[in-house]
Amino acid sequence: MRQKIQRFMIGRYGADQFGQLLMGISVVLLFVSLLTRLDIFYILALGCMGYEYYRMMSRQIERRYQENQKFMNWRLHFITKCKKKKEHFSQRKIYHFYKCPSCRQKVRVPRGKGKICITCPKCRTEFIKKS
């Protein structure tokens, strides 16, 4: 039986990180559908699971790999953003964070200095804020 499965999976994509996420989402959705007894969550869970099995069985390995790479990039971006937010939150009593009005660059300035003129380090735009 094990050999049969192995032979069946030759040339197919298999599991990856994006697939693990899809499986996790479908488990959560199944749990939510049990709690709420709403069919929509059940259908969504089946959809996620179906998509994941389709990906695992897929022979278009390059395309599935690209999907996973996109997901991994998004995940990295998300984790970096979360870390930055956490860092800003821990510094909130010492620093103020402002966005440059022209290029949206985040600028950190010390608190308690009154009205100050901030020069954006990226585009050199000056703007006045209370620190």
Query: Which residue in the set 9, 40, 116, 123 belongs to the binding site for Zn ion (CB under 5 A)?
Result: 123
| Nearest distance, CB of residue 96 and Zn ion, angstroms | 16
Size of the site for Zn ion (CB under 5 A): 7
How many of the other CB atoms lie within 10 Å of CB of 129? 12
Closest residue by Cα to residue 61 from 20, 10, 25? 10
103 binds Zn ion (CB under 5 A): yes
- In whole angstroms, how far apart are CA 32 and each of 8, 20, 76? 33, 18, 27
- In whole angstroms, how far apart are CA 7 and each of 38, 57, 112? 39, 12, 68
Report the distance separating Cα 61 and Cα 38, nearest Å.
Answer: 35
Which tokens go with 10? 């030759």
Toward Zn ion, which CB reaches closer, 44 or 118? 118
Closest residue by Cα to residue 26 from 53, 47, 56, 55? 47
Toward Zn ion, which CB reaches closer, 14 or 121? 121
113 binds Zn ion (CB under 5 A): no
105 binds Zn ion (CB under 5 A): yes
* Binding span for Zn ion by CB under 5 A among 12-20, 28-36, 60-68, 93-101: 93-101
119 binds Zn ion (CB under 5 A): no
* Binding span for Zn ion by CB under 5 A among 12-20, 34-42, 101-109, 111-119: 101-109
Q: Which residues here bind Zn ion, judged by CB under 5 A?
A: 100, 103, 105, 120, 122-123, 125
